[in-house]
Structure 1
Amino acid sequence: MEQKRIVIIGAGVVGCSTAYYLNKMGQQDITVIDQGPLFETGGSTSHAPGLVAQLNFSKLLTAFASQTVADFTELGDGERPSYYPVGSLELARTPERLNDLKRKAGAGKSWGIEAHVLSPKECKEKNPVINPDTILGGLYVPTDGIAKPLRAINRMADFSKSCGTKFYGNTEVTGINMIDDQVKGVETSIGDFEADLVICCAGFWGPQIGEMAGVTIPLQPIAHQYIFSNDIPELAGESEEVTSPIIRDLDSSMYYRQVFNSIGIGSYQHEALPIEISEVSKYGESADMPSIKPFTPEHFLGKPWKDAQNLIPGLKEAGRKRGINGIFSFTPDGMPLLGESEKIRGFWVAEAVWITHSAGVGKQMAEWIINGAPTLDLELCDINRFDSYAQSPTYYKPRSKEDYEKVYDIHHPFETPATSRNMRIIPYYIRQQTLGAFFNESLGWEQPQWYEANESLTERYENRIIKRDGWQARYWSPIIEAEHLHIQEHAGLYDVTAMNKRLEISGEDALTFLQTLTTSNIDISIGSMTNALMLHELGGIKDKITIIRKDNQTFIILCTSAVEANWIQKHVWKSGEIVIQDKTASTCGLGIIGPGARDVMQSIDPQVFAEGAWEAKQVKEIYINNIPVLAAFDSKCGLEYWEFFTTNDQGLPLWDVLYQAGQANELIAVGDRALESLRIESQTLRYGKDFWSEHNPYEINLNAWIDLTKDFIGKKALIERGKKGPNLVSSTLVLDQPDKVVMGHEPVMNNGKTAGFVTSAGFSYSLGRGIVTALLDPKALENDTEWNIEYFGQKISATVLQKHNIIT
């Protein structure tokens, strides 16, 4: 294999895990540098309490944590283990939390993590320090526990050293050497190190290292309180560091772990305490390590301490010993920052990673670097997921603080962020406001979810609208359902600006490049469009894209997000005649969908939009009144669909022309949620929601999109994966009870065993049933037997409607 000179900045648990896995995969020329002593370097790893709670509503974070548990277990020994599998308890003080724990237990089945909802009495049996009268129950995960990261690091480092990796402590990085936006080396206090690839694992110092390379690393260091009690009576006879399950009192935003005869207490029950790097001392400049700030008792001695004593009565007698404000990294969306920067080739990042996920991240980083793609889909963690607007401190600092303050909240999938809003405004935003749009953020854009102006339609469709209550009624309105039904009968005007990134690719080699990039033949006629797949090097689906051919050498690419746009840019040949321009920020788009769409367009221009003047997937550059637009005609969700793109200065006039012309044909403005509901009812799959890069086209029934007569990225790996057969198959199920709907991530059970999980969920008005898309075990699909979907601990019977979904 090709050997690269790799320098890892940061010898904490993430840096050492990455080096460990790179060595295991055959890389040898690796240097690990840290400004502190090895291996208690003074970063977050050195003071973290070590709680590992694997189960998360994020499938990806759960996978990271499970890998970390497996690795830390293997890296231990009998006398000094790196992991104590004592289990965990997440407690509920409210009915809402208890219901959420039931939902989380379902996610455990979906992701393969054993979890049980317990009564208060059973919680106390697991951990005797708990006062059961204060809680309604808890969620028990037996494989959770306490990590000892410094022990794991030492064992990882021993292995890496045996492979030739060199470690340098007390070595400060002072610069990153680059030539033509390519990393060439690292400058340090003890000299320069040549490098083909640099991996920044510097923890909350990451943004400082990023600045040296001209790369923004959008994280905010925040101080978090952790307190040690004196010995408590219930633990008087304990001789082991930890034997009792860790406790997370979610409704009080606090957590607890045994430390021999005492309790360690962590509290999120205080305002976010952001730290600037300039406020952090270097190792040895203060009594404490750099990642520890002085304890601020005013943030703990009120309600947090009372809540702690209320849950664990032994703390009243024991009292506090000492406390710290330990620094951790938080990001705008709560996810790590991973991958190679789009700005500087060879500059990689693995930041904002907690110990819980550390070894899992290290493994994926190594796979990504060596194989060209990781095994898991890391798009939600990709450092390039943030467009330029989100790289401003004005955006990521407030949003990161919001993430800290909500870390133990009950999170709803449609919850809207409160901070860093109105970062990207569409030209017709003022019209959307006038119509009472309820906004959420999508790729930074303010995206309407529904319009209060359509409230009267809820009376019109009252007898047909599915009624929701409880969890599924949060961040929801019956207007969504009314818009859905109205579109199916008439027409809707929809803002498509935030649906994708819009790239223009031109040049003599543009067609050849796109043929290599995609799995199907895209040598289409001028003035037409087609859908195509991009695969990564391991044969997984990198994206489903739309390609519009404007002329022989010019193509418009509609891809999912900044991550896929960066992936396209990364694969442009250095020697080719290709120019890529990102048109996203300078353009906007509107769609008209429904059986009345053509009538609306003909009322604007009977000649241009005459019957028979357009074929499916045809694209034309036309004028609507005096507005130049790129117009595309197709079907969407089984309905006639027109899409129009124009420059931002023409966006408001375009909205006005389309909206006013449509009034005679009952056209309404419709939000994103109604379109998503239509998509689910039509059984149309969506990239990033129903399938992602862990899946190959054969699992999603996209065989027809593969042209094996041409060469394309990932072809060899795809052929091998095709021979092995699918691991999961995309399928549709309907709920047997007509008044039931679910939300997503729920486990799908076949004869009492988990057979897969729900990816999308909604209601089919044509069938009069709740409908879901799910990824299922193909072996289970061979059985025409009992199917159930577990929702908040309750089983809802279901029927398999279709074993392979379609995608358009």
Structure 2
Amino acid sequence: MAGPQVVIIGGGIVGASTADELSERGWTNVTLVDAGTLPAAGGSTSHAPGVVFQTNGTKVMSDLAMYTVEKFTALQWEDEPCYLAVGGLEIATTPERLAELNRRFGYAQSWGIPDARLLSAEEAVHMWDLLNPEMVLGGLFVPTDGIAKAVNAVAAQVERARSRGVTIKDNCEVLDILVEAGKVTGVKTSTGFLPADIVLCCAGIWGPKIAKMVGMALPLTPLAHQLAWTKPLPSLTGHTREATRPVLRHQDADLYYRENFEGIAIGSYRHRPMPLTAEELLPWGGEVMPSVLPFTQEDFEFPLAETAALIPSAVRIEAQGIEIAEAINGVFSFTTDNLPLLGPSPDVEGFWVAEAVWVTHSAGVGKAMAEWIIDGHCSSFDLHALDVNRFERHQLAPAYVLAKDCQNFVEVYDILHPLQPMEHSRPLRTSPFYMREIELGGQFLEASGWERPQWYTANDDLVRSDRNTGWHVPNPDPWSAMFSSPTVAAEAAITRNDVAIYDMTALKRLEVSGPGATDFLQGLVTANIAKTVGGVTYCLMLDTDGGIRSDITVARLETELYQIGANGAMDIDWLRRHLPANSPIQIRDITAGTCCIGIWGPKARDVVQSLTSTDFSNDGFTYFRSKQAYLGAVEVTAMRLSYVGELGWELYTTADQGLALWDLLMKTGAPHGIIAAGRGAFNSLRIEKGYRSFGTDMTFEHDPYEAGLAFAVKLDKGDFIGREALIERAKHVTRRLVLLALENASNTAATDALVLGNEPVYCSGEPVGYVTSAAYSYTLGVSLALAWLPVALTEPGTAVEVGYFEHRYSAVVTAEPGFDPEMKKIRC
């Protein structure tokens, strides 16, 4: 099986890895091109220091790194290794960093990184005996971390691909990509034309330039990063091996280190961002590689001083400092969310990208791309967070990309809270209610560019008022307390007891219309959406392997007109990608021109019914139905849905009438005690009800039966994408998403046991799973968490522990939903 004609642009570590993986799968009709001379062609791979740290807060990044380590460990080039498994040591020199290393150890446990362990200060200094013991407070050690010999790995993989029939063309610059009728047909190069059915861009820092040839914008910025190699150090005299000590990260100072025979390498992010464009890079063919810029000594003064303090033996007394043998400003790729850009173009068939990938994750990305291109999906890794089509339009704006990428460079080693909002380009997207939310003291975080209130300071006094019906206000630790407030307790409790409105405008809204819309959607979703007009269906979209692509609500507003409540930009890409050729069906993103208010609580009907002659009674407006109605002078599409587990509706209207709707509800609801509530309360209430959040609780790697969403699958409704694979997966469920109730640890009795997500779950002292999302349940008076566990541990009553920094919280598997299991409140 030679496969279709594939051209891979870029012979660095990503292009080489993908060529190797494609050819191993039998696709040999592949041409790998690079403007430079392989294996050191002049891109970022050629000067990469190769330090590999597998621990990452994003699961897929650790998964990709672990595969890279496994592959490169077994790979050699001319009897030279492609990987030095010297281990990786992250040290703390501040109490805050020491706590962060505990959190990172939790990631390692959650994702299954082998043999990770925390070290005392003494153990860390013993392991890296050149360190100043007065500075080190502790460390995190991963024995399988190390040094990837990137050029060797390129050479080995390129040669292996060549031996299978892949054509390698270096010193061959890409000049243009030809597209006919929306499909790639070939690549114009400096040495001739290459026909192609598939073009994969692995051009690294030149990626935006290549993607622009097919009209695709990549949110990627090349940024310079300083790397210096010292002259031989007295303490390493006679050191004949390239490295024996672990690669070292001193993140408190934005520095990393690795040995280099008798010297060390010093890598620094402690300098001003130095962005540039592909056009500003040096041309190929010179003595200096294009991805290397002149070293700026003035930006390296702090790293030298800090290194002298941390590693005193690096200072040569006679030179009165650290002597540098060679130093560069090497250029690497940064993106707006610090994650790679993988996948197919939304507009040009056959054009794919694998960009912003560091050596650490390169072999994993190569395998992922080979699977995705050949099979139509990736079975080895969950790529939902890396899909190039994940971005909103504003996130592709050049000014936004530059600002965000530069911020990410500065923050690359910073300790960031999971809810940490960006501090630039705000406010960018605001709902029609934004003015009122500011007046109410809205405390905003950001969601897809939208300003979204987390809570309102106008409700602060409610915590102590006579409306407090006895709810417990937790006392969290300082980390859990960030971006939260006791006021969230009041907002949640008043939603349960009275009525509250929520700004739901940030949720993606799509409109699907035209002849054949019903049949089209039926083939994509797991449940029957062909209900009578007014029907609303909660369902899933699956990939061909049965994995969950998204969970959505589909409302049938007219015979061939549907409104979809979606999760993000990837959903509209998925729908459009499956449209039949020349289809009359229209798919529109209507989010910006509309808005949504969720009104929920026992008194929600009292508020809404007083504003309309339309029947909002339980008999006249049942659950999972929609109606067009006028509330006062405002026309709304009302859907009886509730993600907080209370009676209520999602009210949609056009953006121009949004403020009028808000004011009308607040005025009419005042006698009923209505308040505006924020996302903090919303998250607590939805976890009490066991409602899943796509991208957090379940992703591409999970299926509905594992995720507790079997009720959303109707196998008897006809064929849909992923149906056959799902039937097979149902026979082999090995894990499930469950609800945990946490107990306070005895040594933290003064605080409540709260977690935030990604923490490891232990049974009998061994890591067995991980938390996805969590919140304090003000209704039940207990901290809750959703977590993935092996099937054997998912029976209610099973005792486990949750790791949180240095603590282990006792927890027990709890039946779902935790609140109102008979669904009486939501259907009243």
TM-score normalised to structure 2 length: 0.94
Q: Deviations over 1:173-200 (max 9, x none)?
A: 1111111221111111111111111111
Please state if 1:749 is matched with 2:748: no
Task: State the one-letter code of the partner of 1:319.
Answer: E
* Greater displacement, 183-192 / 249-258: 183-192
Which one of 684, 689, 692 corresponds to residue 699 of structure 2?
692
* Greater displacement, 604-613 / 339-348: 604-613
* Distance apart, 1:701 and its partner CA: 2.9
Q: Deviations over 1:446-486 (max 9, x none)?
A: 11111122121232349721122221112222222221122
Q: Deviations over 1:587-640 (max 9, x none)?
A: 111111111211111232365435633111111111222222111113333211
Partner of 1:416: 421
**SS in structure 1 opposite 2:139?**
strand
CA distance in 2, matches of 1:803, 1:668: 28
* Distance apart, 1:405 and its partner CA: 0.2
Partner of 1:68: 68
CA distance in 2, matches of 1:463, 1:564: 38
Following TM superposition, the consecutive aligned residue runs of length 4 or more in structure 1 with deviations greater than 3 angstroms are 606-612, 780-786, 803-808
Pairwise mapping of residues 273-672 of structure 1 onto structure 2 (< 5 A)? Answer: 273-285=274-286, 287-301=287-301, 303-317=302-316, 318-375=322-379, 376-460=381-465, 461=468, 464-499=472-507, 501-605=508-612, 608-610=615-617, 612-672=619-679
* Distance apart, 1:336 and its partner CA: 0.6
Uncovered stretches (5+) of structure 1, i.e. residues with no partner: none
**SS in structure 1 opposite 2:81?**
coil
Equivalent residues, number: 804
CA distance in 1, matches of 2:683, 2:796: 31
**SS in structure 1 opposite 2:661?**
helix
**SS in structure 2 opposite 1:228?**
strand
Partner of 2:736: 729
**SS in structure 2 opposite 1:537?**
coil
* Distance apart, 1:754 and its partner CA: 1.5
Does the 8 Å CA contact 2:89/2:247 hold for their aligned counterparts? yes
CA distance in 1, matches of 2:443, 2:797: 43
Does the 8 Å CA contact 2:91/2:248 hold for their aligned counterparts? yes
* Greater displacement, 602-611 / 726-735: 602-611
Please state if 1:190 is matched with 2:195: no
Task: State the one-letter code of the partner of 1:142.
Answer: P
Uncovered stretches (5+) of structure 2, i.e. residues with no partner: 317-321
Does the 8 Å CA contact 1:751/1:785 hold for their aligned counterparts? no
Task: State the one-letter code of the partner of 1:795.
Answer: R
**SS in structure 2 opposite 1:134?**
coil
Partner of 2:271: 270
* Distance apart, 1:254 and its partner CA: 0.4
* Distance apart, 1:802 and its partner CA: 2.6
Task: State the one-letter code of the partner of 1:117.
Answer: L
Task: State the one-letter code of the partner of 2:576.
Answer: Q
**SS in structure 2 opposite 1:699?**
coil
**SS in structure 2 opposite 1:330?**
strand
CA distance in 1, matches of 2:710, 2:665: 38
CA distance in 2, matches of 1:95, 1:705: 47
* Distance apart, 1:575 and its partner CA: 4.7
CA distance in 2, matches of 1:663, 1:707: 43
Does the 8 Å CA contact 1:730/1:803 hold for their aligned counterparts? no
**SS in structure 2 opposite 1:133?**
coil
CA distance in 1, matches of 2:778, 2:453: 23
CA 1:2/1:626 → structure 2, altered by over 3 Å: closer, same or farther? farther
**SS in structure 1 opposite 2:430?**
coil
CA distance in 1, matches of 2:293, 2:390: 31
CA distance in 2, matches of 1:719, 1:656: 49
Does the 8 Å CA contact 1:120/1:133 hold for their aligned counterparts? no
Q: Deviations over 1:291-347 (max 9, x none)?
A: 11011011112x221111111001211522231100011011111111011121211
CA distance in 1, matches of 2:650, 2:796: 42
Identity %: 42
Which one of 748, 755, 777 corresponds to residue 764 of structure 1?
777
Please state if 1:801 is matched with 2:814: yes
**SS in structure 2 opposite 1:795?**
strand
Task: State the one-letter code of the partner of 1:309.
Answer: A
* Distance apart, 1:109 and its partner CA: 1.0
**SS in structure 2 opposite 1:635?**
coil
CA 1:526/1:785 → structure 2, altered by over 3 Å: closer, same or farther? closer
**SS in structure 1 opposite 2:423?**
coil
Q: Deviations over 1:105-139 (max 9, x none)?
A: 12211100131111121112211111121111111
Partner of 2:723: 715
**SS in structure 2 opposite 1:107?**
helix
Superposition CA RMSD, Å: 1.9
Task: State the one-letter code of the partner of 2:233.
Answer: I
CA distance in 2, matches of 1:233, 1:716: 65
Task: State the one-letter code of the partner of 2:781.
Answer: G
**SS in structure 2 opposite 1:517?**
coil
Partner of 2:135: 134
Q: Deviations over 1:507-555 (max 9, x none)?
A: 2211111111012222111012011111101110111110000121111
Task: State the one-letter code of the partner of 2:512.
Answer: I
Does the 8 Å CA contact 2:2/2:29 hold for their aligned counterparts? no
Task: State the one-letter code of the partner of 1:579.
Answer: Q
CA distance in 1, matches of 2:443, 2:480: 17
Task: State the one-letter code of the partner of 1:470.
Answer: P
Task: State the one-letter code of the partner of 2:265.
Answer: G
Does the 8 Å CA contact 2:229/2:327 hold for their aligned counterparts? yes
Does the 8 Å CA contact 1:699/1:729 hold for their aligned counterparts? yes
CA distance in 1, matches of 2:736, 2:424: 39
* Greater displacement, 254-263 / 441-450: 441-450
Does the 8 Å CA contact 1:750/1:785 hold for their aligned counterparts? no
Task: State the one-letter code of the partner of 1:423.
Answer: L
* Distance apart, 1:804 and its partner CA: 9.0
Please state if 1:788 is matched with 2:801: yes
CA 1:481/1:76 → structure 2, altered by over 3 Å: closer, same or farther? farther
* Distance apart, 1:427 and its partner CA: 2.0
* Distance apart, 1:490 and its partner CA: 1.5
Please state if 1:52 is matched with 2:56: no
* Distance apart, 1:706 and its partner CA: 2.5
Q: Deviations over 1:381-431 (max 9, x none)?
A: 111111221111111110010000000001110111112222222222222
* Distance apart, 1:786 and its partner CA: 4.3
* Distance apart, 1:371 and its partner CA: 1.2
* Distance apart, 1:780 and its partner CA: 3.3
**SS in structure 2 opposite 1:213?**
coil
Please state if 1:238 is matched with 2:239: yes
Q: Deviations over 1:733-765 (max 9, x none)?
A: 111228311111111111112121111111123
TM-score normalised to structure 1 length: 0.97
CA distance in 1, matches of 2:186, 2:279: 25
CA distance in 2, matches of 1:602, 1:503: 27
CA distance in 1, matches of 2:125, 2:483: 35
**SS in structure 2 opposite 1:350?**
strand
